[in-house]
Amino acid sequence: MKPNRRVPALTLALAMAVASAPDARAEEKAKSPAAPKAPTQEEMMKAWQAYATPGEGQKKLDAFAGSWNVKMKTWMEPGKPPEETDGTAENTWILGGRYLAQKYDGKMMGQPFNGMGYTGYDNYKKKYEGVWMDSAGTGMMISSGSFDKTGKVMHFTATFDDFITGKKMAMKETLTIIDADTHKFEMWMPGPDGKMYKNLEGVYTRKK
C-alpha cells in the first residue's frame, strides 16, 4: 500500500489556519473589565484616618456622658406590675473619645445588680453599635442602630442568646433624649406568646 502523501499537507494547512485564527481567550480577556487598581499607600492612609478619627457620629453620644441617677422599672411578665428600683450610672469616654462606656449599679429582684456596656459609632458602617454585659448572666447582648430624623431618639435592634430555648432572641431598644439632663432607655422582648412587650424602662437624671 502506498503512503498517503496528502496527510502531512492537510495537517500543515490546519496548523496554519489555527495559528492565523484570532485567539478567542485573548478577545474575551480584552472585553472583560480591567481589574480594579490597587490603592496607593497614600490612599490607604487617608481611608484609615477617616475610619479611625472620631467625628459627628461620636459627638452625638456626648448627650449621655456624665453621672446619673436612674429610676428603673422591670417587667418580668406582660401585664404584671413592674419592679421599681433605684440605680446609678457613670458614662465616660474611652479610647480618645471613640467609645462611651457605662457602668451601672443597682438592684434586681432584691439582689445587687451591676452592668457594663460600650457604645460607639462605626465610621465605615455609619451605624451605632453596642455591647452589654451584667451580673444577671454570662452572655453579651449585641445591638446596632441609629438616630431618627429628629436626632433625639436612637432606635436599636439587639440580639441575645436565649439559654432556655437555645435560640437567638431578638429585642428592640430606644434611647430618648428628653433634655440636657434627662434621657430614657426602653427595651422590648418577646413574651410567652411571641409578641413583643416592654420589659425595661430606665429614666436617667443627671447628678447635680
18 burial via Cβ count (<10 Å: 0-12, 13-18, 19+): exposed
- Quote the Cα angle for 174-179-180, to 5°: 110
Q: What is the third-level CATH fold of 56-206?
A: Lipocalin (2.40.128)
- The 10 Å CB-count burial string (b at 16+, else e) for 93-114 is eeeebebbbbebebebeeeebe
Q: What is the pLDDT of residues 136-149, one digit of tens each?
A: 999 999 999 999 99
What was the pLDDT predicted at 102? 98
Domain boundaries, the chain: 6-52, 56-206
Q: pLDDT per residue over 149-164, tens digit each?
A: 999 999 999 999 999 8
Reported confidence tier of residue 11, pLDDT bands at 50, 70, 90: very low
User: If pLDDT is split at 50, 70 and 90, which confidence band does 33 have?
Assistant: low
Segment 116-128 mean pLDDT: 98
The whole-number pLDDT of residue 16 equals 47
Grid cell 411571641 — which residue?
194
Average pLDDT of the residues in 173-195: 96
Residue of 165 and 132 predicted with greater confidence: 132
pTM score, whole prediction = 0.80
Grid coordinates representing 57?
A: 457620629
Mean pLDDT, to the nearest integer, of 2-19? 46
For the segment 78-101, the average pLDDT, to the nearest whole number, is 97
**Residue 130: partners with Cβ closer than 8 Å, 6 or more residues away:** 117, 118, 119, 120, 142, 143, 144, 156, 158
pLDDT at 39: 87
What pLDDT does 14 receive? 43
Q: So what's the pLDDT on residue 155?
A: 98
